[in-house]
A and B are shown apart, each in its own frame.
Chain A
């Protein structure tokens, strides 16, 4: 009897333990992040999760409508190019930061000049590296001077470039922002445990010019690294929304019927890069265009997508994401044709094939599937599976004959974010084609959209004709949410918290 009382005393608190049951009843959406975010300030992290939080808490000068792809005013109301390197913007009046600080030109000038100064150590340098200086014209007018003609500026101003409050930022610095961030956005941050837990509350005074006011009052974000634990929390109702769920897991959850499982494309693409320039050795067979075309013919991209990738993943033919500006998709493509591949190899002097190193850093099953296909035409590819940092270092320093890689373009919807990274004589340019590089540099610096489109089309056609890359597929992501949640994913994989509502 005494034992029973002790046992009851021990276990009673267990039964009474509060089960955090967020949801429709208290207007709280609970979300799981898979990794600990390094810093909440979007300029001090490069993670996707940081982009999502940044979008909810801060505003950019412009906004790109995900439906039309058009730029609309956000913190700026109008903008125009004064010359090819000077962009003038008129700012919105009457906007207030979450702490009451009024928004004006000083905030824009302070934010941009602070972030481009290397001694301040901003990490997301891609966001502002194109800016030379920001200048105040009057209280609601600023000019942004670029380092050179940079037509993708508007895309950056609508994306990673967000505006911080100058007085507050100067007072607390990045370290203060890490625990108490202040923005103008649809959500304010009410609590931060760095890396672990973030609570956002709807900003009822939001100016809502481009983005709408938030629908749900509270967004509760916790870091739960293990995907299975995330699923358990979904079952418990303590999490309402997760994404980047592997397809086998998503299929199982869909089969249970208690959840909504959606799949949407992302900007990340997969490709094989072939060492046409012979950086890994001039005897490398990839220097012969016929061999590169043979590799292209040997890979059954449709087969891999159908069998292994599923969802909205599609085969791509251009060296870019179809959702990017300038990404012409009507370029040469090479059908799956092992016989043709063998014939091309024989013509190139490899009737019995050859042996080569094949480098990869993720998606091992996909890499292995491709290696199997290459073996069928006589190419014995030895898989070298490395950490991303190690593979990138090797590629930059000495080049590798053949590598399976992916690129997400930092969610910049402009072809320059991928083509110019890999084909303008940089460390990871395996083609080293001077005319192609010139073409891309011209495309990147022209301010005429029609001319840019024509130039990118020419460049992408060259890449396809010479088979410098074997473009493979775009990646998609699986979203799982509870039945009550109403949310439609967009192709840019940007989960806009303010668009989430209840059914």
Chain B
């Protein structure tokens, strides 16, 4: 198990390094950062001054190594746009993103797993079709549209929750639903497929033959095995939620890290974007790693895979 964990850590570190390098290089390809910082009306002298002030005239590899060294000590530099330390800004905004990420994930799991189990327990019935229907709708609706529909119904027409902001905890309700619903279909389908497979296996037949109650068979015996791939998927989905809450945060004006990413992309704020890409990628890497370890613990056969 230790060897397995160490190998996974080594691989995770390698992936993180690759991501950092690619993100660094890619962002420089989106146009001259000096022009982007100077803004739309800036004269040429300002742009030249910015170029030397920020060191954009230095070789790219040198800029990367310098950036990486500072990043490793938690210093992501100053935001070109907001003129504040990037690490401080991210620390300020990440809690909002993590909050809606965890809430959204909880919502998705609470909705998707029971739905998946029920669909598998009653295959090809109205329950199964209903569950699949909900999943298909969730996959087909873009979040920006779904978010707006919820705003129109619950905020404009019913006046129950605010349309934007986190002034009160009620501001988290709609973003949680939008973000969570988006993750629901994949988890639901995987739970259903896993359950169907497990339910047709020999040990379930034995359990049934022993006269166990259907509920015990489903939730105690079958779900435990069917859940293994769902753990991996949920880890990836959670990483996605942290990185991908850009749309939801923009619609609901939540000022989290996703919104910050959107702002920094539109303003070519390189240090902020680079830090965010790295942090979001780290979330993916860490969650995937944890899921691998958790699965290996649940199923020892995976340790040698």
**Chain B 1-43 per-residue mask, 1 if CB under 8 angstroms from chain A, else 0:** 0000000000000000000000000000011110110111111
Give the residues in chain B near A196, CB-CB below 8 Å: 255
Whole-angstrom distance between the alpha carbons of A223 and B38 in the complex? 22
Task: For the complex, give the distance between the alpha carbons of A390 and B40 in Å.
Answer: 12
Residues of chain B with a CB closer than 8 A to A387's CB: 30-31, 268
- Contact A126/B156 with A222-B165, A223-B253, A228-B251 known, Cβ cut-off 8 Å: no
Return the CB mask of B165-178 against A: 1 if under 8 Å, else 0.
10110100100000
Q: Is the CB of B156 within 8 A of A236?
A: yes
Complex: chain B residue closest to A408, CB-CB: B41
A82 to B130, CA, bound (A): 84
Expressed in whole angstroms, the minimum distance between the Cβ of B255 and any Cβ of chain A is 5
Of all chain B residues, which has the CB nearest A233? Answer: B163
A389-B161 contact given A232-B155, A235-B156, CB 8 Å threshold? no
* B255→A223 contact, CB < 8 A: yes
How many contacts A-B (CB < 8 Å)? 138
Tell whether B252 is near chain A: CB-to-CB under 8 Å: yes
When chains A and B are docked, how far (Å) is the Cα of A408 from the Cα of B41?
Answer: 7
What interface size band does chain A fall in? 35 or more
Residue B180 at the A interface, CB < 8 A? no
Residues of A within 8 A of B268 (CB): 387, 389
Instruction: Answer yes or no: A280 CB below 8 A from chain B CBs.
Output: no
Return B203 CB to nearest CB of chain A, in Å. Answer: 35
Interface residues of B in 124-150 (CB under 8 A from A): 144, 148
A44: chain B residues within 8 A (beta carbon)? 83
Q: B84 contacts A236, CB within 8 Å?
A: no
CB of B50 to closest CB in A, whole Å: 9
Q: Find out whether the CB atom of A390 lies under 8 angstroms from the CB atom of B251.
A: no
For A409, list chain B residues within 8 Å (CB). 41
Q: Is the CB of A194 within 8 A of B168?
A: no
Residues of A with C-beta under 8 A to B252:
229
Q: Is the CB of A194 within 8 A of B160?
A: no
Segment 46-60 of A: residues with Cβ below 8 Å from B: 46-47
* Cβ contact of A126, chosen from B33, B35, B46, B160, cutoff 8 A: B46
Taking the closest CB of chain B, its distance from the CB of A488, in whole angstroms, is 26
Q: Which residues of A contact B36 (CB under 8 A)?
A: 388-389
Give 15 A-B contacts (CB < 8 Å), ordered by A residue.
A14-B173, A17-B168, A19-B159, A39-B82, A46-B39, A118-B49, A194-B82, A236-B162, A236-B163, A238-B163, A387-B268, A392-B32, A393-B31, A426-B43, A426-B44
Q: Could you list which residues of chain B lie within 8 angstroms of chain A, going by C-beta atoms?
A: 30-33, 35-36, 38-46, 49, 53, 81-84, 144, 148, 151-152, 155-156, 159-165, 167-168, 170, 173, 250-253, 255, 259, 262-263, 266-268
Pairs of residues from A and B, 7 with the lowest C-beta to C-beta distance, nearest first: A389-B31, A390-B31, A393-B32, A389-B36, A46-B39, A232-B163, A389-B35
> Footprint of B on A, CB under 8 Å?
13-15, 17-20, 35-36, 38-39, 44, 46-47, 118, 121, 123, 125-126, 129, 174, 178, 194-196, 222-226, 228-229, 232-233, 235-236, 238, 386-393, 396, 407-410, 421, 426-427
